[in-house]
């Protein structure tokens, strides 16, 4: 019979050691053996077991398993070999306290990617074999020391290993439980599995058919293989135990593990999800509102651009030709052009100089704007005026005014319901003829004072002559051609002194304003997302530290580095994803509520929603990158020594 495992000249030395942990170990292990390894503490027993179980590699020498030399085998292949050939039982059982007995027993099967029903079946068989079937739904933390060690046996044996490696499994047990565990090991061996047991207990060691004693890293005694040359009873060739029917969904298992980790500490997860939600939600709100606002603003402006233009006529000294023309003749001239509907002249008057108030010399607290206008101005503004029949008086010489509702209220002038009041303007009483309750073209109209153009002009003559603005309402589409002709119409001698603007020109300014605001909000949101990632990274880092032994256990029973990496990356991704989804919902709600309040049409793009969810998931994953990397680097042999 050929050996299952052959070690030749195996040596292992750790740094700062006087004596190597192992020196020139030569060993043949045959299928179906039961070997007890004994020796003083520090003699190299665990090191030997770790090398046998592929948890550590030797410095020199050759290791052959099932005829395969491990010299050229990759780390990933070793993970797979470990998972399929070996079962491990450690002195500390490393049972997962938060999982049920069944789930614990399935851990190795999950590493082997076995189909779910098979996992349940194998785990059940072994839980029953070790006498724990009545505890199947209990959690790991509820078990006694003896029960935990029996569960560790079930976990190791469910994967049907060829070799069971046990490192002082009875070390922490009383003699009765120790004997029970040993009995299980004997039964396991009797059914064909090779068992290698490290023990300090001479009584147990003496019951093993083959005993190897180590001293200072060397084998000083080996009682030898009792069946050398003849197969042991019941032994199945190791290769038959390699599993063919594996499920090919390691990702699903890793995802399930990641979700499981999340569900273990739901409040921690919720806090992280909340943090991502704030970041993504802010980003979504910023984007949604700026798109909505830009849409609302450009819609209004675009409408205006189709039928509105303004010409600014500089003070008279800039143009002698203009001096000779009254505003009225200009208006008449322009009105003959095609498409022109309404022309109105207005001047901006200084509220500081005119100090509007309800009584003479009262310090005013007026916050709006004062304009001198002609009677056509309110048609142009599409304003709602309380006494429209009196508008004609704006073209006369008597000082009159129309004031916004808000002004009447603020200054305590007149009453929109009861007609005339008196407003003091520039030290002179001005009769208030009507009140403006709204304008579809200028939302500020209710805060302004409009007095007559001629009065405004005369009251201002002593001061610096302000610019006159001609505002023209046209049929749809006429502003552009008229804008070109207007300077020549107004001042053929010096057309360059006339500046004409269609409202469309303002569009870029408005966009600039709203995009500045949006970038501020989204800047803050990115900061929130960054902070959320940082918190998540720290939390995951802490949990990787806390789960060191568990990760090592998974590695020991064959989980690949890639699988460990995936579990933690997925945990971060799921948290970020949940935060992203919640954030997109929050952002959408924010945009909806704000838009409804402002009377805008909410603009929510589905591509931005997807982007929000993606940003959440990706930043969540990135936050997990370093903790996941650390987890994947876990050294199983080191952690299992605890």
- Give the span between the Cα atoms of 163 and 157, in whole angstroms: 9
Single residue of 4, 7, 25, 47 touching ligand ADP by CB under 6 A: 47
Can you tell me which residue has the tokens 């929130």? 528
Which of residues 91 and 451 has its CB atom nearest to ligand ADP in the complex?
91
- Give the span between the Cα atoms of 558 and 550, in whole angstroms: 13
Which of residues 42 and 250 has its CB atom nearest to ligand ADP in the complex?
42
Q: Is 209 in the site for ligand ADP (CB under 6 A)?
A: no
For 639, other C-beta atoms within 10 Å of its C-beta total 19
Q: Is 104 in the site for ligand ADP (CB under 6 A)?
A: no
Q: Is 39 in the site for ligand ADP (CB under 6 A)?
A: yes
Which of residues 53 and 612 has its CB atom nearest to ligand ADP in the complex?
53
Single residue of 23, 38, 43, 536 touching ligand ADP by CB under 6 A: 43
- Give the span between the Cα atoms of 184 and 193, in whole angstroms: 12
Taking CB under 6 A as the rule, which mask of x and - marks residues 469-488 in contact with ligand ADP? Answer: --------------------
Instruction: Determine the interface stretch with ligand ADP among 39-47, 172-180, 308-316, 415-423 (rule: CB under 6 A).
Output: 39-47
Q: Is 575 in the site for ligand ADP (CB under 6 A)?
A: no
Short-list 275, 187, 279, CA closest to 234: 187
Q: Is 573 in the site for ligand ADP (CB under 6 A)?
A: no
Q: Is 38 in the site for ligand ADP (CB under 6 A)?
A: no
Which of residues 166 and 628 has its CB atom nearest to ligand ADP in the complex?
166
Backbone angles phi, psi at 432, to 5 degrees: -90, 120
Instruction: Determine the interface stretch with ligand ADP among 37-45, 447-455, 458-466, 486-494 (rule: CB under 6 A).
Output: 37-45
For 14, other C-beta atoms within 10 Å of its C-beta total 9
Q: Is 53 in the site for ligand ADP (CB under 6 A)?
A: no
Which of residues 167 and 307 has its CB atom nearest to ligand ADP in the complex?
167
Q: List 425's β-bridge partners, or say none.
A: 428
Single residue of 3, 4, 21, 413 touching ligand ADP by CB under 6 A: 21
Tokens describing residue 384 = 């709602």
For 459, other C-beta atoms within 10 Å of its C-beta total 21
Single residue of 5, 34, 38, 45 touching ligand ADP by CB under 6 A: 45
Which of residues 44 and 421 has its CB atom nearest to ligand ADP in the complex?
44
Count the residues of the shown chain that bind ligand ADP, applying the rule CB under 6 A: 11
Torsion of CA 452, 458, 463, 467, to 10 degrees: 50
Taking CB under 6 A as the rule, which mask of x and - marks residues 324-343 in contact with ligand ADP? Answer: --------------------
Q: Is 44 in the site for ligand ADP (CB under 6 A)?
A: yes
Tokens describing residue 198 = 């490290």
Cβ contact 141:97 at 8 Å = yes
For 614, other C-beta atoms within 10 Å of its C-beta total 14
Short-list 523, 351, 361, 579, CA closest to 448: 351
Single residue of 4, 25, 31, 46 touching ligand ADP by CB under 6 A: 46
Instruction: Determine the interface stretch with ligand ADP among 45-53, 377-385, 435-443, 621-629 (rule: CB under 6 A).
Output: 45-53
Tokens describing residue 232 = 């042991």
Q: Is 18 in the site for ligand ADP (CB under 6 A)?
A: no
Which of residues 44 and 580 has its CB atom nearest to ligand ADP in the complex?
44
Instruction: Calculate the alpha carbon distances from 34 to 91, 223, 235, 398 in Å.
Output: 18, 12, 12, 121
Instruction: Determine the interface stretch with ligand ADP among 36-44, 285-293, 336-344, 438-446 (rule: CB under 6 A).
Output: 36-44
Which of residues 44 and 146 has its CB atom nearest to ligand ADP in the complex?
44
Short-list 56, 132, 10, CA closest to 552: 56
Short-list 81, 94, 76, CA closest to 641: 94
Cβ contact 533:308 at 8 Å = no
- Give the span between the Cα atoms of 240 and 261, in whole angstroms: 35
Which of residues 40 and 75 has its CB atom nearest to ligand ADP in the complex?
40
Half-sphere exposure of 616 (CA within 13 A, CB side): 33
Q: Is 41 in the site for ligand ADP (CB under 6 A)?
A: yes
Instruction: Return residues touching ligand ADP (CB under 6 A).
Output: 14, 21, 39, 41-47, 638
């Amino acid at each position: 019979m050929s050996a299952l495992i052959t070690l030749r000249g195996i040596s292992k030395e750790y740094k700062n050691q006087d004596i190597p942990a192992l020196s020139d170990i030569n060993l043949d292990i045959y299928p179906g053996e039961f070997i007890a390894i004994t020796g003083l503490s520090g003699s190299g027993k665990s090191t030997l077991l770790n090398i046998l179980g592929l948890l550590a590699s030797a410095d020199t020498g050759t290791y052959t398993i099932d005829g395969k030399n491990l010299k050229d085998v990759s780390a990933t292949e070793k993970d797979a070999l470990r998972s399929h050939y070996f079962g491990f039982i450690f002195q500390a059982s490393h049972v997962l306290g938060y999982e049920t007995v069944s789930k614990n027993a399935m851990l190795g099967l999950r590493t082997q990617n076995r189909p779910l029903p098979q996992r349940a079946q194998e785990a059940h068989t072994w839980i029953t074999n070790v006498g724990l079937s009545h505890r199947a739904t209990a959690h790991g933390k509820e078990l006694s020391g003896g029960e935990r060690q029996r569960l560790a046996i079930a976990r190791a044996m469910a994967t049907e290993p060829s070799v069971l490696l046990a490192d002082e499994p009875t070390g922490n047990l009383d003699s009765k439980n120790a004997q029970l565990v040993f009995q299980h090991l004997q039964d396991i061996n009797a059914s064909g599995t090779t068992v290698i047991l490290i023990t300090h207990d001479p009584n147990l060691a003496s019951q093993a058919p083959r005993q190897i004693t180590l001293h200072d890293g060397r084998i000083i005694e080996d009682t030898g293989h009792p069946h050398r040359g003849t197969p042991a009873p019941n032994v199945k060739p190791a290769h038959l135990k390699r599993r063919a029917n594996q499920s090919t969904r390691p990702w699903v298992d890793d995802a399930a593990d990641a979700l499981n980790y999340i569900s273990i500490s739901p409040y921690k997860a919720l806090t992280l999800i909340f943090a991502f939600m704030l970041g993504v939600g802010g980003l979504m709100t910023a984007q949604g509102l700026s798109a909505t606002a830009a849409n609302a603003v450009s819609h209004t402006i675009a409408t205006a651009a189709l039928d509105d233009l303004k010409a600014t006529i500089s003070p008279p000294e800039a143009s002698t030709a203009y001096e000779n023309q009254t505003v009225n003749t200009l208006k008449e001239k322009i009105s003959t052009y095609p498409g022109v509907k309404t022309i109105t002249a207005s001047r901006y008057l200084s509220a500081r100089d005119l100090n509007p108030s309800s009584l003479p010399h009262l310090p005013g607290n007026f916050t709006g704007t004062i304009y001198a206008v002609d009677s056509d101005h309110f048609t142009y503004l599409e304003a709602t005026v309380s006494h429209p029949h009196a508008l004609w008086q704006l073209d006369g010489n008597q000082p009159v005014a129309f004031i916004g509702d808000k002004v009447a209220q603020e200054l305590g002038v007149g009453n929109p319901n009861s007609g005339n009041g008196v407003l003091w303007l520039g030290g002179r009483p001005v009769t208030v003829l009507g009140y403006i309750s709204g304008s579809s073209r200028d939302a500020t109209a209710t805060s302004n004072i409009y007095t007559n153009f001629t009065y405004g002009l005369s009251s201002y003559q002593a001061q610096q002559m302000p610019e006159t603005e001609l505002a023209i309402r046209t049929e749809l589409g006429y502003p552009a051609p008229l804008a070109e002709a207007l300077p020549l119409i107004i001042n053929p001698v010096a057309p360059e002194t006339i500046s004409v603007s269609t409202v469309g020109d303002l569009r870029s300014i408005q966009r600039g304003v709203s995009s500045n605001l949006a970038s501020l909000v989204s800047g803050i949101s990115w900061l929130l997302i960054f902070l959320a990632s940082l918190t998540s990274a720290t939390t995951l880092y802490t949990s990787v530290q806390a789960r060191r032994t568990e990760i090592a256990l998974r590695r020991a029973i064959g989980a690949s580095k890639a699988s460990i990496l995936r579990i933690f990356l997925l945990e971060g991704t799921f948290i970020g994803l949940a935060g992203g989804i919640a954030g997109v919902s929050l952002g959408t709600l924010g945009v909806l509520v704000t838009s409804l309040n402002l009377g805008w049409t909410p603009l929510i793009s589905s591509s931005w929603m997807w982007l929000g969810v993606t940003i959440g998931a990706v930043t969540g994953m990135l936050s997990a990158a370093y903790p996941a990397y650390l987890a994947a680097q876990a050294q199983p042999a080191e952690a299992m020594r605890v």
